[in-house]
Amino acid sequence: MHPVHLRSAGTSLLLAFDSGEAEIVHWGADLGEHLPDLAILRGPVPHSALDITVTAGLLPQASSGWAGRPGLRGYRSADGVPGRDFSPALRVVSTDVRDGGRGVLIIQRDSDAGLEVSTELTLHPGGLLELAHTLSNSGTAAYQLEELAAVLPVPRNATELLDLTGRWCRENHPQRHAVQQGTWVRTGRHGRTGHDSSLLVAAGTAGFSNRRGQVWATHFGWSGNHEQYLDSLADGRRMLGAAELLGSGEVLLHPGASYRTPSLFAAYSGHGLDGITEAFYDWFRARAQHVDTTSGRLRPVVLNTWEAVYFDHRLEPLLELADSAAGLGVERFVLDDGWFRGRRDDHAGLGDWYVDEGLWPKGLTPLIDAVTAHGMEFGLWVEPEMVNLDSDVAREHPDWIVGPSALSHKDGGRLPQPWRHQHVLDLANPEAWQYIYGRLDALLRENDIAYLKWDQNRDLTEHGSGGRPSVHEQTLAAYRLFDALKAAHPDVEIESCSSGGARVDLGILQRTDRVWASDCNDALERQTIQRWTQAVLPPELVGAHIGPTTSHTTARTHDISFRAITALFGHFGMEWDIRAATDDERATLRRAIALYKRHRALIHSGKRVNADTGEPTLSVHGVVAHDAGEALFAAVSLASAPAEVPGQASLPGLDPKRTYRVRAELPTPLDGDYAHTFTQISPPAWLEDGAVASGAFLQHVGLPLPVLNPEHALLLHVQAV
């Protein structure tokens, strides 16, 4: 078979078939149109090794001599004895180049083992690679699948590995280390993506950074249990991989049945992590279902009520909050937890998705009418996948509650340990799924609701249905629930919230319109959380809210300008009792909301850039228009700096041949916290009236920053002149 060469946006993917398998012989920089005879790539055979050149196949197999982690693990049982067909020899039977040369379907088969794997590879226009396998059982007996992985090779000069980790209120924090021999594995057993899940796994050349170095990066688009890994073998080869982590006996393929892996998304960049981000953003924004960011329904300014009223759902305070929000320019008002039957705290009510008649004798209508009369959209919090034992649905249908036993807890079955006083509804049970769909559908039909904040506040521990593990089926059932509601109510937007950022992945984002990156609204914490969440997700998909003056999760106090500048670089909103804001704070809020409305088309369509400052206490990041005619930057002091003055900050991504005017937008002397932002006798010469310089000058020389106090920021607008 002839090689297959996919090219897009400076990236090449080259597949060869000489060994009988499909093998990726290059994934990285563009190779151009003319290729040599790939026979020159046939490597040596060392001593004390197999007598063949070992193939690192698209699906690595022991039958080809691969000694690393295999791509497929499973077996059949014969006469009650497991282990048959444990080592397939899959070989290519067909290739089909598609999508104008940007995709290929490869079918590999082992007829003796009764297995077939079809692999779809697509190199999207912006350079993002998407890879998924489908395993089919063509045999006469059931096949027990243990793992089917998607893997990609990375070269030996990828000597450093960066991934993300975290916890509740501290999601998506980076960690990096040198690549060494062996298998490095990140495992997620949360039944959801997880607070500590790595949104991105990036291997790169030594010292790779925001704007420098070669980087090969992957993201696994799945919302359930999973593993991500780097397999570094003694022969020098390295494979980045990911797979769904299946429970014991969870996927049994009967004859004729098939299993499709979640998609592995991957990008190559020759100019640092910002190039990876650019490939992901291009893919997101090209989707037909992507939110409108340039015309029509621009991303509205949000007020969420949680940190304003918590469970105190009295109508009068909520009407006051709506009035105050409208006066500031809010465009979407979201009523959070506490509106449904029996919900006075988090011990009861989950599962009973009926408006509480005691709190709301006339239903939600009085509040919705007041909100929409102000010209705002109305949104509502739900947590459909969860249940409190103190609820009507749990009392009436104990068999709908997930657990490790085939028996309900009422019949002596054991429940998993509670988490925030709640358990999980078995959406793999058709009756439970239909009940939840029916209640949400009724809420949306009976009320003028434009937005659902969809929460998921616990891990899926000991998750079983009918006595068997079922995270796989629960995840697919949740996807079907999202899909069905979207089909029935296509104009309703849905946010994926999972105690903050515990369900942030491209699987859930195929069916939702934004994520809640973290339950932490502390602006300092959010600087890191949002930077690394937005390494993959464009800002229009990342909820970013101004929280109270003193954060309810960290007890830190920040000025309004710092909180506002942080929230501007996302889908902007507030989560705060703004009735208590001072006159100065309200004045700055109005300015910040006006700035967001003026610049949101830029923020939600431009290129995300992150300067390499060389100073860990200083962050300079921004968004640059695709035509480089305009940009918005934030210079952020994350902590006290070691130097007396911060030096000159470069503004990356501008056109070196154009001339720009740079002006400070927030804070300005009009803002009450202006004097608290700086510690200096006099500001830099350009700060008051702005600066005019070429893009080359601003990128390579930069501008001297004012002496920012720790945990303060300066917003800069850059316009071509």
110, 352, 519, 671: the catalytic one is 519
CA distance 382 to 543: 17
Q: Going along 143-199, which residue ranges are E strands?
A: 143-154, 160-165, 173-178, 182-188
Q: Measured in whole angstroms, how far is the alpha carbon of residue 142 from the centre of its chain?
A: 35
The span from the first CA to the last CA of the chain, in angstroms, equals 55
Neighbouring-strand partners of residue 630: 719
455, 505, 559, 671: the catalytic one is 455
Lookup result for tokens 């993201």? 219
CA distance 408 to 402: 8
Closest-CA residue to 651 (of 601, 709, 607): 607
- The H-assigned helical ranges of 380-453 are 392-396, 430-446
CA distance 422 to 458: 8
Q: Measured in whole angstroms, how far is the alpha carbon of residue 706 from the centre of its chain?
A: 34
Neighbouring-strand partners of residue 621: 610, 634
Contact of 477 with 511, CB cutoff 8 Å: no
37 is catalytic: no
Contact of 497 with 453, CB cutoff 8 Å: yes
User: Can the peptide bond before residue 36 be classed as cis, meaning omega within 30 degrees of 0?
Assistant: no
H or E stretch covering 524? helix 523-533
Phi/psi for 459 (5° steps) reads -70, 155
CA distance 76 to 249: 12
Please spell the DSSP secondary structure of 208-277, one letter per residue: --SSSS-EEEEEE--SSSEEEEEEE-TTS-EEEEEEE-PPTT-EEE-TT-EEEPPPEEEEEESS-HHHHH
The contacts of residue 327 (CB under 8 Å, 6+ apart) are none
CA distance 474 to 191: 9
The contacts of residue 362 (CB under 8 Å, 6+ apart) are none
The contacts of residue 639 (CB under 8 Å, 6+ apart) are 617, 710, 711
SS3 content of the chain, % helix, strand, coil (to 5): 20, 30, 45
505 is catalytic: no
Around Cβ 174, how many Cβ atoms within 10 Å? Answer: 17
Please spell the DSSP secondary structure of 697-710, one letter per residue: HHHHT-EEPP-BPT
Q: Which residues are catalytic?
A: 455, 519
